[in-house]
Amino acid sequence: MIITDTHTHLYSESFDADRKEMIERAISQNITRFFIPAIDSNYTEAMLALEADFPEHTFLMMGLHPTSVKENYKEELQHVETMLAKRHFYAIGEIGIDLYWDTSTLKIQQEAFRYQIKLAKQYGLPIVIHCRNAFDEIFEVLEDVADEKLFGIFHCFTGTIEQARKAISYNMKLGIGGVATFKNGKIDQFLNSIDLEHIVLETDSPYLAPKPYRGKRNESAYIIKVLEKLSEIYSVSEEKIADITTSNSKDIFGI
């Protein structure tokens, strides 16, 4: 059984004290594939160092996170372009729109999102979407850019069944993590009406730890709790969930 964490910030400062042990804990539980989203240029060196330490297990993305879209966003986008020209990345992400922290940057967030989708198509890469309080705004952009070159993952999906189907219609897999284990998470109530071929697993560690770790630092090993919950929701074995979601991740990332 191979388990894939399609979204984990293993380079985060939250892991500085025990990163090696934390990653080895996950690997010992068959969680052996870690896809690493970017935030902004401040984290690029840490991401590259992580890859150097765990080359067989870590797969890097490149992109500008919507909460890092500030006055210098054009310079940050140039950094993304420069890095893409230098070496291979497995996705453009995480990118999108976040209206939870700051609504005043909506216009430039939309611009950065569209620009990075264009880069993804240019390089034949998937996109990994961050959406917070912004489903309508995300779908508006996707509607404009939808074509056979658009594909990827709707990271940390927390929407309704209708929004899930809409995301899937744009060739997106749904990234399912700790929220599926929450009492008020709601997605557990309809997930079994979404075919497993549209689902990938993620932690978003160090954020959004599943039950019974909710409120604590999340880590990739805790994806086991998400796996257990999906096994319960879909009434199939944990091995089958792991096999299908890992296969789905290979379809998206090409590895």
pLDDT in tens, 84-117: 999 999 999 999 999 999 999 999 999 999 999 9
Residue type, 144: D
Average pLDDT of the residues in 31-56: 98
Average pLDDT of the residues in 209-226: 97
pLDDT in tens, 122-171: 999 999 999 999 999 999 999 999 999 999 999 999 999 999 999 999 99
Total domains present in the chain: 1
Confidence of residue 185 (pLDDT cuts 50, 70, 90): confident
Average pLDDT of the residues in 183-191: 91
Buried b (16+ CB within 10 A) or exposed e, 39-68: bbbebbebbeebbeebeebbbbbbbbbbbb
Confidence of residue 63 (pLDDT cuts 50, 70, 90): very high
- For residue 121, the 8-state DSSP code is H
User: What CATH number is given to the structural domain containing 48?
Assistant: 3.20.20.140
| Residue of 137, 142, 136, 129 whose CA lies nearest to 108 | 137
Average pLDDT of the residues in 8-17: 98
Confidence of residue 183 (pLDDT cuts 50, 70, 90): confident
Q: CA 81, CA 232: separation in Å to the nearest integer?
A: 42
Average pLDDT of the residues in 180-209: 95
Please check the confidence at residue 55 and state whether its pLDDT lies above 90.
Answer: yes
Domain that holds residue 58: 3-253
Please check the confidence at residue 218 and state whether its pLDDT lies above 90.
Answer: yes
| Residue of 74, 90, 179, 196 whose CA lies nearest to 132 | 179
Contacts 24+ apart (CB under 8 A), 154-157: 154/129, 155/6, 155/7, 155/37, 155/93, 155/94, 155/96, 155/128, 155/129, 155/130, 155/131, 155/202, 155/204, 156/7, 156/130, 156/131, 156/202, 156/204, 156/208, 157/187
Q: Give residue 77's pLDDT.
A: 98
- 34 neighbors 58 (Cβ within 8 angstroms): yes
Average pLDDT of the residues in 180-195: 93
Give 143-158 as a DSSP string: HHH-STT--EEETT--
